[in-house]
Structure 1
Amino acid sequence: MKALVLYYSLYGHIHRMAEAVAEGVREIADAEAVLRRVPETLPPKVLELMGAVEAQKAFAHVPICTVDELVDYDAIIFGTPTRYGNMCGQMRQFLDATGQLWLKGALVGKVASVFASSATQHGGQESTILTFHVNLLHFGMVIVGLPYSFAQQMRIDEITGGSPYGASTIAGGRGERMPSENELAAARFQGRHVADIAARLARP
């Protein structure tokens, strides 16, 4: 079973979550996790003004994904920051280029899942995942979330991301908060859960 963890990260929060998702995938026997990024659409000068250039060096080694690669995987786990309650523009542009795959039904039956980040606790992380699901349904993919068997999503002793829709992290208004151990545990659980379901579906 081969899973793609496909994401966009500006300051590293989603990158760290993607690493944890991949760790979870690899906990399933014979499961392979591949990390890929969607192409950047912001010009270098804008990234510099946003203070993102230094942060992006930490994941510059992760290859950029092409649309045609998507067909090579049994499962695709998407990661995106929140932009006004929706996926970021970079992910949106990448998905908008998948028309030929949709026309061929190339993604029908593949397992899909989503994780996200937002600046604040109520900054749209749940709506980002839910609206992302609409795209996956158009592709004919089998959507998997973060079940309540990951009980730590219900904890109230600390601020934490995570919902039955998928793992998430709260980055802070200036990006000062990196994913907590609880949020990383949710990401690992989600990766393992997706890989387990994809492996079951792949069995003859």
Structure 2
Amino acid sequence: MTKQTQPIELHSFPTPNGQKITIMLEELGVPYTHHLVHIGKDEQFAPDFLKISPNNKIPAIVDPEGPGGEAISVFESGAILKYLGLKFGQFYPADPRAQVKVDEWLFWQVGGFGPMLGQANHFARFAKEKVPYAIKRYIDESQRLFGVLNRQLEGRDYIAGEVSIADFACIGWANYYETYEIKLEEFPHFAAWLKRMNERPGTKRGIEVIKV
């Protein structure tokens, strides 16, 4: 495994997207520092943060020991997970066929599982105007996605077989399953994975390490 001498700088907030990276860093056991970007105070729009995250979204990292020994910044949670997995040779397989499986489920999360659950959460809990159509649309789609995940986990301990960045991408969102009216007894493979993931010491630390 590649050794990290200088700590990686993590700029984040303890949302499910932010937790992806703290979980990965804790599971890797590499040194890092955390810089809180308080999205409730619009700190994600600060000019200094914009330099490393052009989309004004958390998380972002700065690795002072990037490729060629030069510092590099990385934004977007999926890109950060792949970068760290490739750099340290953990939680992202070397075999090309296995990489495809992990990539499929990583992109499934960043393109569907996260955004759809986020919209469901917004319209059901935070929108000033309750729009029944929007609530039903996104809750229904969230439940469909939990069903997809449950089927994928049948006969597997982890989403792509071995524990990987695909699991780290999903667990923070999955922990809020009750928001989406998910009954664990109806999703037994998901329920077993959820318990398995939350019992991992690194994952547990990654979820709990940042408080606001």
Shorter-chain TM range is 0.3 to 0.5
TM-score (norm 1): 0.32
> More helix by proportion, 1 or 2?
2
User: TM-score w.r.t. structure 2 length?
Assistant: 0.31
Structure showing greater radius of gyration is 2
